[in-house]
């Protein structure tokens, strides 16, 4: 019985830690006012590499700032490029990826702006992307559900063993 309780304690601690890490990574930055983006291409090399996690916050934009914005396509991908010009009259930013030879073909309307990159964390974007996937959410929920079921069955079994011992 003690062995089962030890295993139960270890498993519950691991699950609690996994849930805590998940919440910190997914909700923590948002609670601090940041939007989370992941670098998906090498267009900003050498400043930002594929797989970096970017924390973005609204701020006053100046030429040379690196901003994240919603792409103009249907996919809604977030793009992170450097501002090379601001057209106040048309309310757009002209942007360019540092690794690209020319400026972006579509100006970025002020309304598509997510903010300025404030913090970048190398490689964590890969982990964030995996954690945000539906599969990861299903696996985590499944593990918690399995834990609850096993815990209920184990408690029931332990209680019946205690009752049998008391009857003797």
CA–CA separation, 151 vs 16, rounded Å? 14
With 0.85 as the threshold, say if the pTM is over it. no
pLDDT (0 to 100) of residue 55: 94
Give the contacts of 95 (CB within 8 A, at least 6 positions apart).
67, 69, 79, 81, 82, 83, 84, 103, 104, 107, 108
pLDDT tens for 24-48 read 888 889 899 999 999 989 999 999 9
**Per-residue confidence at 93, pLDDT binned at 50, 70, 90?**
very high
CA–CA separation, 153 vs 147, rounded Å? 10
pLDDT tens for 66-86 read 999 998 777 778 999 999 999
Q: Which of 1-5, 109-113, 148-152, 159-163 has the lowest mean pLDDT?
A: 159-163
């Amino acid at each position: 019985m003690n062995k089962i309780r030890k295993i139960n304690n270890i498993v519950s601690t691991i699950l609690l830690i996994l849930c805590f890490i998940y919440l910190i990574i997914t909700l923590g930055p948002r609670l601090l006012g940041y939007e989370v983006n992941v670098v998906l291409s090498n267009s900003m090399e050498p400043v930002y590499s594929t797989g970096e996690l970017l924390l973005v916050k609204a701020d006053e934009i100046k030429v040379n700032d690196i901003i994240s914005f919603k792409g103009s396509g249907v996919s809604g991908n977030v793009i992170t490029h450097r501002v090379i010009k601001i057209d106040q009259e048309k309310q757009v930013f002209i942007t360019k990826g540092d690794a690209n030879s020319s400026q972006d073909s579509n100006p970025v309307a002020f309304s598509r702006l997510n903010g300025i990159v404030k913090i970048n964390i190398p490689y964590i974007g890969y982990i964030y992307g995996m954690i945000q996937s539906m599969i990861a959410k299903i696996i985590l929920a499944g593990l918690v559900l399995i834990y609850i079921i096993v815990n209920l069955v184990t408690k029931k079994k332990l209680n019946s063993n205690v009752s049998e011992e008391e009857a003797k």
